[in-house]
């Protein structure tokens, strides 16, 4: 337990110091250049096209799907939420493993297995 605390402390200290150092390099040359306008971006055209594409996709697909989802009956929305929560447990599983919480990882894996098989792909939540 103490070893885990020491590792986390050292890691957080390294993250903090690297973020402090990151802002200080090269700032003197930026001040001397004197350009108050926007910097030239080499991918500006691609960024603008991608923004327009995402905006059109949002208006054409995601907005109608979201509006349609709101009119579904509550039981169907609940089952859809259960499926998403079941898939989200895979992220929780990897997070538990990376944090060294192997008991919680085992619990999450068992819960995912039960909900996927007995709960018909997570539609139902028999692991509660």
pTM of the prediction?
0.51
Calpha distance 89→47 (Å, rounded): 33
**What confidence score (pLDDT) does residue 21 get?**
59
Give percent of the chain with pLDDT exceeding 70: 79
How far, in Å, are 14, 17, 24 from residue 21 at the CA level?
11, 6, 5
Whether residue 68 is found in the same domain as residue 94: no
pLDDT digits (tens, 9 = 90+) for 67-121: 998 998 998 898 988 999 899 999 999 999 999 999 999 999 999 999 999 888 8
Please report the DSSP string for 60-120 in residue order.
Answer: IIIHHHHHHHHTS-HHHHHHHHHHHHHHHHHHHHHHHHHTT-HHHHHHHHHHHHHHHHTTT
Whether residue 91 is found in the same domain as residue 114: yes
Q: How many residues comprise the chain?
A: 128
Q: Is 20 inside any structural domain?
A: no
Whether residue 100 is found in the same domain as residue 113: yes
| pLDDT confidence bin for 26, thresholds 50/70/90 | low
Q: Is 98 inside any structural domain?
A: yes
- Please answer whether residues 71 and 77 qualify as being in contact, where contact means their C-beta atoms are separated by less than 8 angstroms: no
Whether residue 67 is found in the same domain as residue 95: no
Q: Is 2 inside any structural domain?
A: no
| pLDDT confidence bin for 29, thresholds 50/70/90 | low
Can you give the residue range of the structural domain that contains 116?
74-128
Whether residue 103 is found in the same domain as residue 92: yes
Q: Is 93 inside any structural domain?
A: yes
Least confident of 24-38, 50-64, 114-128: 24-38
Whether residue 63 is found in the same domain as residue 92: no
How far, in Å, are 12, 64, 76, 119, 120 from residue 109 at the CA level?
28, 35, 25, 14, 16
Q: What is the mean pLDDT of residues 54-70?
A: 93
On the question of pLDDT at 17 being above 60, the answer is yes
Whether residue 78 is found in the same domain as residue 110: yes
Whether residue 58 is found in the same domain as residue 82: no
């Amino acid at each position: 337990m103490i070893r885990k605390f020491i590792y986390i402390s050292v890691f957080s200290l390294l993250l903090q110091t690297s973020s402090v150092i990151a802002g200080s390099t090269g700032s003197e040359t930026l001040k001397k250049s004197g350009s108050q306008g926007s910097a030239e971006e080499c991918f500006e055209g691609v960024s603008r096209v991608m923004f327009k594409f995402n905006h059109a996709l949002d208006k054409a697909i995601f907005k109608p799907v979201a509006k349609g989802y709101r009119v579904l009956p509550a039981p169907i929305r609940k089952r859809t939420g259960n499926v998403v929560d079941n898939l989200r447990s895979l992220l929780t599983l990897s997070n538990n493993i990376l944090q060294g919480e192997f008991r919680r990882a085992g619990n999450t894996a068992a819960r995912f297995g039960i909900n996927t098989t007995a709960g018909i792909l997570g539609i139902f939540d028999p692991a509660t």
